[in-house]
C-alpha cells in the first residue's frame, strides 16, 4: 500500500489559490470600504449643506412673504390698501403672528416726526406715538434722505427692479423689515414715508425655528443633528437650541455654520442663493419671475457682532460628522472582516474536511484490501484441507486429525477477524454494553494471555511477565479489557520482529492529574513506530507505510478498537516507541476509589 497523503499537490495548490483570492478580496474590501466611507462623507456633507441652505431659504420665505403682500404699488396716501393686503396675508399665512406690529413712519424734521400703527381688527392705520425703539431707524432714514438720488437708487437696486422685495431692508437690532414708500412725482426725498414690519421674536424663536429644525434635520429616530441659532460670541445668546445646553459654549467641532443675516457676498457656501416666491396659486409667469430675490435682505447700518445670528449644526451620534463617518467606517470594516474571517474559517474547514474525507476513503480502500487478504488466506487453507479430505488424499487418522486442527485454527482466525470488525462497528455506534466490576490487573493479563495463547505458541514468542502483588483493583468489564489487551498482544506479535520477545508489566503510578492508576504495558523489541506515523497510529484503518512495505498483514482496526475500549473504561492508551527500538503500548486504568474513577 502506498504512503498515505502522498498526493498533497492539489490540496497545496487549492490552499495557495484560496489564500491569494482571500488576500485580494481583503485588499479590495478595504479599498471599497474606504471609498464608501469617503463617498458617505461627501454625501452627508452635501446633504447637510443642502439642508442648511433650505433651512435658510425657508426662514427667509417665512419672514418675507408679508413683504410680497405689501409690494410697492399703492403709493403714499393709500394706507388702506396696505391694511387690506395685510389682512389678506394674515388669513392665509402659516405664521400670521410672526408680525408683531405694522407701522408707517414719517420721519420729517424733528420734532415733527409721526407714526401710524395698523389696527388689525379694524384693518386701518391709527395715529401713534413714534416708538423709541425705532430711534435708530430714524437716524438711518435721515442719512438715506441726505444721499444723492443716484446713490439712493443704487442702494434700492439690491433686488431685481420691479420685484416684490425691491427696496426692503432688514434691521437685526429691532428685528424689523423696512421699506420706503414710493414718493409722488415732484415730492422731496426728505418727505418720504417708511413702512416698518416689526417681527415677533417669540414666534420666530418658539415656533418657526423649531419647525424648520424638524423639517430639515429630521432623521428616522428624531433629529439627526444638534441644531442651535445663537447671537454674539463674547456675550453669547441662544436664540434656539434643539437640545438643552447645546450652543451655550463655542462648538469647536461643528459640522456646519451659517451667518443667518450675512449679506449675499458672505454666504457660508460661497455662492449667491436665490429664493422662489409664489404670489398665488394662479400666478402668472411674470409675477413668478418678478418674485425672485437674494437670500436675505440688505442690512440697515452696521450691526454689532452680538446682533448677528448664526446657525450651528453638529451630528448627534459620534460627535462631529467626520467622527460619525469614521465610526461607521470602523464598524463596517469590523463586520466585513468578520464575515471575511468566517469565510476563511469555512473554506479552511472545507479543505480540512475534504482532505479528511479523501484520506478516510484511502484508508477504507486499504482496509477492504487488507480484510480481503486476511479472509483469503484462512479460506484458502480451509478449502484446500477440505478438498484433500474429500478426495481421499488423506486417509491416515493422524493426518485427518492434523487437518482438523488446521481447519479449526483457520476458522478461529476467521471468527476472530469477523468479531473484531463487529466490535469496531458496535463501538463506533455506541452499541457496546459493559458490565464493570472490580478487577485485578493480574486477572486481566492472564485472561488476555489465555485468549492469545494459540497465536503466542504459533509465533514462538517468549513472554516475560512482571506483575507485583498487592496492586489496587480497577473497575472494568473483563471481556472488554481482555479484548483490549489481546489486541495489544497481537500487535506485538506482528511487529515484534526476529527477537520474538513479548513483555507484559503492571505497575501502580501516581499521576499528577489523574491520581493513582494501574498501568499495564505491552512491549516488544521489533521495528518500532516512525514519529510521523505515531499521531495516526490509533486511527481506524490506518497502517503505517513501513508495515505495508514489510508485508505485515492486518486490518488497521486492532489499536483503534483497543483505544475505544480503554476510553470506555475511563482510561487511556499511550505509545512510547522509536524506529528500530521496539514499542511499548500502555493501558492506563484509574484505581478503584480514585478521584478520576
- 425-478: pLDDT as tens digits: 666 667 667 888 999 999 999 999 998 888 888 888 999 999 998 899 999 999
Please give the average per-residue pLDDT across 80-91, as a whole number.
90
- Report d(CA 257, CA 177) in Å as an integer: 24
Cβ contact 59:212 at 8 Å: yes
- Report d(CA 440, CA 474) in Å as an integer: 6
Q: Which of 129-138, 422-431, 576-585 has the highest mean pLDDT?
A: 576-585
Residue bearing the bigger pLDDT, 500 or 262: 500
Instruction: Look up cell 403672528; give the residue.
Output: 97
pLDDT of residue 269: 37
pLDDT of residue 371: 67
Please give the average per-residue pLDDT across 533-554, as a whole number.
73
The lowest-confidence range among 209-218, 272-281, 398-407 is: 272-281
From 249, 264, 220, select the one nearest 312 (Cα to Cα): 249
187, pLDDT greater than 60: no
User: Looking at residue 579, what DSSP letter applies?
Assistant: T
On average, the pLDDT of the chain sits at 78
227, pLDDT greater than 90: yes
335, pLDDT greater than 70: yes
Please give the average per-residue pLDDT across 339-354, as a whole number.
81
Please give the average per-residue pLDDT across 519-544, as a whole number.
84
Task: Give residue 386's pLDDT band: very low, low, confident or very high (50, 70, 90).
Answer: confident
- Report d(CA 410, CA 416) in Å as an integer: 10
- Report d(CA 367, CA 4) in Å as an integer: 13
For the chain, domains (ranges, CATH) are: 70-199 (no CATH), 369-422 (1.10.287), 433-590 (3.30.565.10)
270, pLDDT greater than 50: no
The lowest-confidence range among 331-340, 346-355, 588-597 is: 588-597
pLDDT of residue 11: 67
Please give the average per-residue pLDDT across 160-173, as a whole number.
74
190, pLDDT greater than 60: no
Buried b (16+ CB within 10 A) or exposed e, 494-530: bbbeeeebbbbbbeeeeeeebebbbbbbbbbbbbbbe
Residue bearing the bigger pLDDT, 536 or 324: 536
pLDDT of residue 112: 67
399, pLDDT greater than 70: yes
- 494-528: pLDDT as tens digits: 888 888 899 999 999 887 776 789 999 999 998 88
Amino acid at each position: 500500500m502506498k504512503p498515505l497523503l502522498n498526493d498533497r499537490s492539489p490540496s497545496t495548490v487549492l490552499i495557495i489559490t484560496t489564500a491569494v483570492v482571500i488576500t485580494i478580496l481583503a485588499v479590495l474590501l478595504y479599498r471599497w470600504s474606504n471609498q464608501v466611507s469617503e463617498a458617505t462623507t461627501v454625501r452627508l456633507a452635501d446633504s447637510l449643506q443642502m439642508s442648511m441652505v433650505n433651512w435658510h431659504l425657508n426662514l427667509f420665505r417665512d419672514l418675507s412673504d408679508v413683504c410680497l403682500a405689501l409690494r410697492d404699488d399703492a403709493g403714499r396716501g393709500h394706507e388702506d390698501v396696505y391694511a387690506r393686503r395685510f389682512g389678506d396675508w394674515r388669513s392665509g399665512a402659516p405664521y400670521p403672528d410672526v408680525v408683531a406690529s405694522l407701522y408707517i413712519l414719517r420721519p420729517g424734521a424733528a420734532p415733527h416726526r409721526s407714526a401710524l400703527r395698523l389696527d388689525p381688527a379694524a384693518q386701518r392705520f391709527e395715529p401713534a406715538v413714534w416708538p423709541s425703539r425705532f430711534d435708530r431707524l430714524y437716524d438711518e432714514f435721515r442719512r438715506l434722505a441726505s444721499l444723492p438720488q443716484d446713490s439712493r437708487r443704487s442702494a434700492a437696486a439690491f433686488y431685481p427692479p420691479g420685484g416684490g422685495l425691491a427696496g426692503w431692508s432688514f434691521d437685526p437690532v429691532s428685528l424689523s423689515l423696512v421699506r420706503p414708500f414710493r414718493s409722488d412725482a415732484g415730492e422731496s426725498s426728505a418727505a418720504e414715508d417708511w413702512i416698518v414690519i416689526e417681527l415677533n421674536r417669540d414666534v420666530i424663536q418658539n415656533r418657526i425655528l423649531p419647525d424648520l429644525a424638524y423639517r430639515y434635520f429630521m432623521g428616522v429616530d428624531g433629529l439627526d443633528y444638534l441644531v442651535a441659532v445663537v447671537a454674539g460670541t463674547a456675550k453669547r445668546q441662544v436664540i434656539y437650541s434643539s437640545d438643552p445646553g447645546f450652543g451655550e459654549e463655542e462648538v469647536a467641532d461643528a459640522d456646519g455654520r451659517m451667518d443667518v443675516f450675512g449679506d449675499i457676498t458672505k454666504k457660508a457656501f460661497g455662492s449667491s442663493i436665490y429664493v422662489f416666491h409664489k404670489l398665488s396659486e394662479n400666478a402668472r409667469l411674470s409675477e413668478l419671475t418678478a418674485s425672485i430675490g437674494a437670500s436675505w435682505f440688505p442690512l440697515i447700518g452696521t450691526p454689532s457682532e452680538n446682533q448677528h445670528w448664526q446657525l450651528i449644526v453638529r451630528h448627534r451620534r459620534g460627535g462631529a460628522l467626520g467622527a460619525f463617518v469614521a465610526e461607521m467606517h470602523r464598524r463596517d470594516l469590523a463586520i466585513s472582516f468578520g464575515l471575511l474571517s468566517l469565510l476563511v474559517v469555512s473554506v479552511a474547514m472545507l479543505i480540512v474536511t475534504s482532505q479528511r474525507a479523501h484520506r478516510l476513503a484511502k484508508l477504507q480502500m486499504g482496509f477492504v484490501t487488507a480484510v480481503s487478504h486476511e479472509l483469503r488466506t484462512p479460506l484458502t487453507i480451509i478449502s484446500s484441507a477440505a478438498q484433500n479430505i474429500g478426495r481421499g488424499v488423506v486417509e491416515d487418522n493422524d493426518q485427518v486429525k492434523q487437518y482438523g486442527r488446521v481447519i479449526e485454527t483457520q476458522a478461529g482466525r476467521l471468527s476472530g477477524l469477523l468479531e473484531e470488525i463487529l466490535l469496531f462497528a458496535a463501538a463506533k455506534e455506541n452499541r457496546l454494553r459493559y458490565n464493570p466490576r472490580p478487577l485485578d490487573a493480574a486477572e486481566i493479563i492472564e485472561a488476555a494471555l489465555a485468549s492469545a495463547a494459540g497465536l503466542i505458541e504459533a509465533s514462538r514468542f517468549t513472554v516475560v511477565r512482571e506483575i507485583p502483588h498487592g496492586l489496587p483493583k480497577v473497575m472494568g468489564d473483563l471481556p472488554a479489557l481482555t479484548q483490549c489487551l489481546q489486541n495489544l498482544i497481537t500487535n506485538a506479535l506482528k511487529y515484534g520482529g526476529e527477537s520474538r520477545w513479548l513483555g507484559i508489566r503492571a505497575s501502580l503510578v501516581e499521576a499528577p492529574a489523574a491520581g493513582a492508576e494501574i498501568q499495564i504495558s505491552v512491549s516488544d523489541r521489533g521495528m518500532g513506530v516512525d514519529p510521523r506515523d505515531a499521531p495516526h497510529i490509533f486511527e481506524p484503518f490506518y497502517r503505517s507505510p513501513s508495515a505495508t512495505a514489510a508485508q505485515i498483514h492486518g486490518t488497521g482496526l486492532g489499536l483503534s478498537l483497543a483505544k475505544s475500549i480503554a476510553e470506555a473504561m475511563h482510561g487511556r492508551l499511550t505509545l512510547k516507541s522509536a524506529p528500530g527500538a521496539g514499542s511499548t503500548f500502555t493501558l492506563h486504568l484509574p484505581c478503584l476509589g480514585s478521584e478520576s474513577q
